[in-house]
Amino acid sequence: MRTIRNLLAIVGLATVLLAGYLLYATRDFDPGAFTVYRDFGTKLLETGDLAGSFVWAVPVAEGVSVQDVKDSMKSLAVDRNFLFVSESPFYKQAAAVTGEEFRHVSFMQFCDVRVGIEMLEHNDAYSAFMPCGISVVENKQGKLWLYAMNMDFLIHGAKELPPELKQKALRVRKTMREIMKGAAAGEF
């Protein structure tokens, strides 16, 4: 019995020390960091899908065509002072390489150049996430979906961004979500 009590005491001490270390190590983290990681962990445990846990996924409404979605995204971006950077038609590249038709998958890229400049001035590593991308994907069942990286990881996932930059990043996040939701409904 004494051995079990001592073992439990050691486990308890280790838990307290680990919790203290984590609190100390994350003291400069954004206040939303724990929510971002909790939500990520919950989604990962529910689905077992790592990639799906890092992204926003929005189903496209029935009757909205691929071209409608793309035109909608471009229109919504312009309305929000976002630059449409490019489109990469992956499905065409896949067909050229394999010699077989491939379901529609294309990558649409958008940017708020002024915010991009500020993000790079803050940390060059943000360049790996630029420009903001939205994938237009026809799944294996023929249903269209829009996917984009969950920007909450970049905004809230670690050290808090400087207040003015954080507000601009939140505006970019909001705009990306509006573009995705609006395009999925076929709005212009």
pLDDT digits (tens, 9 = 90+) for 91-141: 999 999 999 999 999 999 999 999 999 999 999 999 999 999 999 999 999
pLDDT of residue 22: 61
* Structure confidence at residue 5 as a pLDDT band (50, 70, 90): confident
* Structure confidence at residue 23 as a pLDDT band (50, 70, 90): low
Which of 124, 174, 178, 182 has the alpha carbon at shortest distance from 152? 174
pLDDT of residue 160: 93
Instruction: Return the bridge partners of 107, or none.
Output: 88, 135
pLDDT of residue 3: 84
pLDDT of residue 2: 79
Top pLDDT among 6 and 23 is at: 6
pLDDT of residue 28: 82
Quick: pLDDT tens for 29-86. 899 999 999 999 999 999 999 999 999 999 999 999 999 999 999 999 999 999 999 9
Q: Is the pLDDT of residue 8 over 80?
A: no
What does the chain come to in residues? 188
Per-residue burial over 153-184, b if 16 or more Cβ lie within 10 Å, else e, is ebbbbeeebeeebeebbeebbebbebbbebbb
pLDDT of residue 11: 77
**Dihedral angle, C-alpha 155, 157, 160, 164, nearest 10 °:** 0
What mean pLDDT comes out for the span 145-174? 96
What mean pLDDT comes out for the span 137-152? 97
Top pLDDT among 17 and 147 is at: 147
Instruction: Return the bridge partners of 167, or none.
Output: none
Pairing of strands 144-149, 55-59: antiparallel
